[in-house]
Structure 1
Amino acid sequence: MNTEINTVVAVVGPGAIGTTVAAALHEVGRKPLLCGRTPRDHLTLQDGDRFITVPGPVQTNPKQIARTADLVFLAVKSTQIDAAAEWLKALTGPETVVCVLQNGVEQLDRLATYSLPGQIVPAVVWFPAQAQSDGSVRLRGDARLSLPDTSASRVVATALQGTRCSVDLAANFSSLAWRKLMQNAVAGLMALTHRRSGMFGRADIARLTLAYLQECLAVARAEGAELGDEVPQDILDKFRAAPADMSTSILTDREAGRPLEWDIRNGVIARRGRVHSISTPISDILVPLLAAASDGPG
């Protein structure tokens, strides 16, 4: 397996997360292959007053890929995996590591259906990156990934060594993934209200959020996550401390009329709750509303 610093890297899905990772690599002279649906001659990441331009082009035809990559960052949303399948087939060989930069706790299960020859590494993405109306991406915090502590994950860590994107190899990866899922689940409330983080300053929304997080915590613990009683309040406090105009990807998709990642972020709580005979009354209301907002009809 190739662990050299000059590993050939591809980024599939140059959206908010993909652009951030591509910019991190480009800044230290490791130009990634950019793969997406829309032809572009460059990507732009805004970090405070600084703009980082990643030269393109963004490749749009997987049939033109001449060789497999050593490392692929899959940065499309779960609703777009089918559309990215041809890229994965073209880029993935037996020695390829595919790092899945997606929400949820089911990345391995979802990618398994594609029978890729390489090794799949799930990731928890901890940085807030927002796509802007001009096509650029605004990074509103430090970039950090958590990965399981495996040999394949060390390929990812080596590729990102010395970049703005730090990598943690975590023995408790499952617990971290469930904590991030709880945070993502709460963001579903933003999609339903069409409001940004400022909404969590309302006392009624705060009470609903805490009750929902308690429900999520019970399911996470039943799934084996080691999370303390303080986690729901900590997550709420994080939303309340964020800038009032902070958005989230599921809200951005709702505003743009795109399909929502409601199943992997919210539906999973109800699904796993049923497996463990855990009551999920808040999920039982939120999930149908999010599903209808995403998929209709009407």
Structure 2
Amino acid sequence: MKVAVMGAGSIGCYYGGLLARAGLPVTLIGRRQHVDAVTERGLLMDVGGEQHRVPMPATTEARGVADADLVLFCVKSGDTEAVGREIAPHLRPDVTILSLQNGVDNPERLEAVVSRTVVPVAVYVATEMAGPGHVRHKGRGDLVMGPSPRDAEIVARFAAAGVPVQVSDQAMDALWGKLIVNCAYNALSALTQLPYGRLLQMAGVEAVMRDIVAECVAVATASGVSVAPDILPAVLGLARSMATQKSSTAQDLSRGKPTEIDHLNGIVVRKGAELGIPTPVNRVLVTLVKAVEVARAEDAGMASAT
């Protein structure tokens, strides 16, 4: 099984690196700084308190997906359609595409531009890029994926790489469950630049999270999604299991990158408006994160001008 990772950020590098370490031919497709580092020195992985260098090919070109049996699609939600159009001419007719992305609408949006089935995958992992070509694992790593014709082979390949994978007809419900967790943590972690453990210790944060979750559950339920009855304890418990983790939105803001807020709390706000369900707390978080994005972009522009 040949594997291509489209979007070699922390998620793509982590899973692609594990598969390559287990012996599969894996090509990383990402930004120039990471590609150059991996090409020169291999992918550096911090996993389980150990460091591993995993040699593998890497490229900045979309045609890196050519001949891949399996594509791990790991780009930011805002880039889904644009990157999908780039890779579409190079995809094999029988390719299996796994969407390992935040949000709940990426598989549908990607299918529309690549004209191939896209399998939704809920990703439960804490990772970060510690530098060019250097990924650091900080917790968990299991996946819940929707059914596909290659279920057995994909599960076996990931298992051999040490990645637990559950195949489920309720993968979209799992994606919504993860979205609710992300809505509770991502924006608050980004605005405060605090890791989850310290964040939940702040006065008033738990009450705000409860409000966020209540709005998300109302929208999900009205959308026909089955939400786990223990979703609130699961949300609050994440601060213990991933105490040192900062959200991907926090990492994006700190690096001056665009965030995925429109595809996290933003999608709850939009669907709530369609369904007539108020989502004031989620709306405030979207507004504040986007305001910080603008402010940081202006600061960066002023700094480059001087």
Relative to the length of structure 2, the TM-score reads 0.86
- State the Cα distance separating 1:110 from its structure 2 match: 2.0
Which residue, 143, 146, 149 being the options, matches 2:144? 146
Higher helix share: 2
User: After TM superposition, which residue ranges in structure 1, 4 or more long, deviate above 6 angstroms?
Assistant: none
Structure 1 residues 294, 113: closer, same or farther in 2, change over 3 A? farther
Superposed CA deviations along residues 186-227 of structure 1, whole A, max 9, x for unmatched, are 221111122221111123111111111111111111122222
Structure 1 residues 33, 134: closer, same or farther in 2, change over 3 A? closer
Superposed CA deviations along residues 133-172 of structure 1, whole A, max 9, x for unmatched, are 4541111223211111332555533442422112110122
Output aligned runs, 1:38-77, within 5 Å: 38=32, 39-40=35-36, 41=39, 42-62=42-62, 65=64, 67-77=66-76
Report sequence identity in percent. Answer: 27
* Mapped partners of 1:14, 1:218: distance in 2: 34
Match of residue 234 from structure 2:
234
Is residue 222–residue 276 contact of structure 1 (8 Å, CA) maintained in 2? yes
Query: Alignment RMSD, CA only?
Result: 2.2
Q: Structure 2 unaligned segments of length 5 or more: list them.
A: 299-306
* Mapped partners of 1:234, 1:260: distance in 2: 24
* Mapped partners of 2:109, 2:85: distance in 1: 15
Is residue 269–residue 283 contact of structure 1 (8 Å, CA) maintained in 2? yes
SS at match of 2:71: strand
* Mapped partners of 2:112, 2:289: distance in 1: 25
Match of residue 177 from structure 1:
175
SS at match of 1:72: strand
Match of residue 5 from structure 2:
11
Is residue 65–residue 91 contact of structure 2 (8 Å, CA) maintained in 1? no
Output aligned runs, 1:242-261, within 5 Å: 242-243=242-243, 245-261=244-260
- State the Cα distance separating 1:241 from its structure 2 match: 4.5
Is residue 97–residue 155 contact of structure 1 (8 Å, CA) maintained in 2? no
Number of aligned positions between the proteins? 289
Q: Structure 1 unaligned segments of length 5 or more: list them.
A: 1-6
Aligned letter for 1:149? P
Output aligned runs, 1:32-43, within 5 Å: 32-38=26-32, 39-40=35-36, 41=39, 42-43=42-43
* Mapped partners of 2:12, 2:51: distance in 1: 16
SS at match of 1:110: helix
* Mapped partners of 2:125, 2:65: distance in 1: 32
Structure 1 residues 87, 30: closer, same or farther in 2, change over 3 A? farther
Aligned letter for 1:78? S
